[in-house]
Structure 1
Amino acid sequence: MSTETRAAITIRRGVKPPVPIRRVTSTTGDKTVAGVSHVVMGIWALVVILPMLWTLIGSFKTTKEIFASPFGLPANWNFDNYVSAWVDNEFGLMFLNTVIVVGVSLVAVMILGAMCAYVLARFSLPGSRLIYYLMLAGLTFPIFLAIVPLFFILQNMGLLNTLPGLIITYVAFALPFTVFFLFSFFKSLPYEIQEASYVDGASEWRTFFQVMLPMAKPGMAAVAIMNFLGLWNQFLLPISLNTDKNNWVLSQGMAAYASSAGYALDFGQMFAAVMITIIPVLIVYVLFQRQLQGSVSQGPSK
């Protein structure tokens, strides 16, 4: 019996025939590029990991130990520096303010940005192209040029030196990038699925939240990572528009602590404060990275 006959009988029985394995041969050039790429990535990983590891070890040392043995292990592994930074230097309060501002801003900008990008990408409305180009223009506008107008706007609104005022400002500056990033993503999604949801009787809101938005999870995860990193590390906006010490965020606290202490700086506490600032970013990145990889593997065919 020939191979074609066996395949036809197998298909009639409802079993898919085995897919032949295609062997891919690598050339010398491919191996060279792969080797160089791995070496460069390894060097880059060391450049990123080693300073972070040194900071982590230094956060358990005293200032005397850091200067006496910069690369050695601490004599006593304790969390005294973390407790002092969290309580005595009020990094706990600043951490809470940062979580509130960044968390609310991120949720708001993701919802508003996804809705705006979806409408601009999927519907032909009068002035939609103009709105899209205005969003792109917002990406080219330097932040420092808007500090003075923002100061007076928030002052007139009674939101200067407040967390809600900082949240509104964060959302305004992160929205253009979010729309720009998600626009092409929503544009590439198949229209047949959207039309099928209409045929099933779904409304525009239900189609967006239950059909199109889950298909956009890879783009949402990617832009959420970038927005979180940008908002968490924001320094110019809070230092200009949020001078009340009770409402300081971590970036302000780090700068104020390093500049006020001068030569009497406790490097152990400073390293602990740096780790308090870095660890949440690493946790969020790992969580979103896993979701991003899972979403990409599912694809829009889901």
Structure 2
Amino acid sequence: MSVTTRAEARTEPNQEQEIRTTKPTTSDKVVGGVSHVVLVIWSIVVILPLLWTVLSSFKTTAEIFKSPFGLPANWNFDNYVKAWVGNNFGPMFLNTVIVVGCALILVMLLGAMCAYVLARFSIPGSRIIYYLMLAGLTFPVFLAIVPLFFILQGMQLLNTLPGLIITYVAFALPFTVFFLFSFFKSLPYEIQEAAYVDGAGEWRTFFQVMLPMARPGLAAVAIMNFLGLWNQFLLPIALNTSQPNYVLSQGMAAFASAAGYQVDFGALFAAAMITIVPVLIVYILFQRQLQGSVSQGTSK
């Protein structure tokens, strides 16, 4: 009995200490309140323009100017039909999906392989290669437009979708390597050594062991690359002047500028929604992959 009472006496202070440490202080409440207020304001800033764009995409131009914040009188998809068929957004959407999809697959594959080798192996010149990748992040893309133009022209890839894909891969590769380098660096070496002991080679270790462990990092950088490539405007406008190969960002600019002062704002908002919706869908699909951590992945 005495041993039990001593144990209880020792555990009670620890329980009280845990309760005291978990009890929020006044400063914690202030920080939490300010954080919630900032998040609410930020949500309003993001949601309200998107909601206004959705409502305006179902209105006519006259209705937008007459009642810009009201509900549409008729909920129809005429504006979407005009944008998709009348302004040739269907082929441009397909071109964008092909260019961004192929570029994203290539940049994720090449970036993950490059970051893995630079982070996990000691090879001559690895630090120089890594710093050159970092230098690529600091180089303004508009300074490379003229050299890229002549390079693609010499390769017979100017104004073509493959040329745009290669350019997108080169544009997104430095950031991908930089982001995944520290991620692969933090993975435990014990699991890699265990794969070697089980007889796995380098390729099998990378694709079946290390790459699944890096899934949260891959999902995060994939979302960032997708957003950057989908909304890219400068590179296609300079390197892809052939109208049959236009992407959505070029189509939006051409649609707004060609109409002059007689813009069909309802169709323009519908075109904007056509451009925005795929980004939202991809983010919703990938956000599930962002949950979890490296420790959870290794425990499985």
What TM-score, normalized to structure 1? Answer: 0.93
Alignment length (residue pairs): 290
CA distance in 2, matches of 1:215, 1:3: 45
Q: What is the CA–CA distance in structure 2 between the aligned matches of 1:231 and 1:294, rounded to whole Å?
A: 26
CA contact under 8 A between 2:54 and 2:269: conserved in structure 1? yes
The aligned counterpart of 2:133 is 135
The code of the aligned residue for 1:88 comes to: G
Identify the residue that residue 197 of structure 2 maps to in structure 1. Answer: 199
Offset at residue 299 of structure 1 (A): 3.9
Alpha carbons of structure 1 residues 3 and 160: separation in structure 2 relative to 1, 3 Å: farther
Which consecutive segments of 4 or more residues in structure 1 shift more than 2 A? 1-4, 20-23, 294-302
1:272-295 C-alpha deviation (Å, 9 max, x unpaired): 000000000011111111111145
Partner of 1:91: 89
Q: Counterpart in 1 of 2:104?
A: 106
- C-alpha contact (below 8 Å) 1:250/1:277 kept by paired residues: yes
Q: How does 1:211-222 map to 2 (within 5 A)?
A: 211-222=209-220
- Measure how far apart 1:262 and its partner are: 1.2
**Is it true that 1:260 corresponds to 2:269 in the alignment?**
no
Counterparts of 1:11-50 in structure 2, within 5 Å, are 22-23=18-19, 24-50=22-48
In the alignment, what sits opposite 1:170?
168
Give the C-alpha shift of residue 297 in structure 1: 7.8
CA distances 1:66-108 after superposition (whole Å, capped 9, x unpaired): 0110011111100000011000101111111000000000000
8 A contact 2:115–2:184 mirrored in 1: yes
Alignment of 1:226-265 (within 5 A): 226-265=224-263
Structure 1 pair 26–59 and aligned structure 2 pair: CA distance change class (3 A): same
Match of 1:10 in 2: none
Residues 89 and 248, structure 2, Cα contact 8 Å, conserved in 1: yes
**Equivalences for 1:280-295 in 2 at 5 Å?**
280-294=278-292
TM-score, normalised with respect to structure 2: 0.93
Q: Letter of the 2:235 partner, please give it.
A: L
Q: Name the counterpart of 1:13.
A: none
Cα distance in 1 for partners of 2:131, 2:185 equals 16
TM-fit CA distance, 1:225: 0.6
Write out per-residue CA displacement over residues 121-161 of structure 1, whole angstroms, 9 at most, x where no aligned residue: 00000111111111111111110000000000000100000
Following TM superposition, by how much is the alpha carbon of 1:301 offset from its aligned partner in structure 2, in angstroms? 3.2
* Deviation (angstroms), 1:300: 3.5
- Tell me which of 160, 179, 182 is aligned to 1:181: 179
Partner Cα distance (2:204, 2:139) in 1: 35
In structure 2, give the amino acid aligned to 1:126. P
Indicate the SS of the match to 1:264.
Answer: coil
Q: Between the two proteins, what is the percent identity of the paired residues?
A: 81
Identify unmatched segments of 5+ residues in structure 2: 8-14
8 A contact 2:223–2:283 mirrored in 1: yes
Gaps in structure 1 of 5+ consecutive residues: 7-19
Instruction: Indicate conservation of the 8 Å contact 1:229/1:281, yes or no.
Output: yes
**RMSD of equivalent CA atoms:** 1.8
Instruction: Give yes or no for contact 2:214–2:294 (8 Å, CA) kept in 1.
Output: no
- Residue by residue over 1:211-247, the C-alpha shift from the partner in whole angstroms, topping out at 9 and shown as x without a partner, is 0000000110010010000000000000000000000
Q: 1:116: which partner in 2?
A: 114
Q: Using a 3 Å threshold, how does the CA distance of structure 1 residues 205 and 148 change in structure 2: closer, same or farther?
A: same
Match of 1:57 in 2: 55
Name the CA distance, whole Å, in 2 between partners of 1:297 and 1:35. 31
Whichever residue aligns with residue 228 of structure 2, its letter is G
- Indicate the residue corresponding to 1:11 in structure 2: none
CA deviation profile, 1:249-270 (whole Å, cap 9, x unmatched): 0000001111111110000000
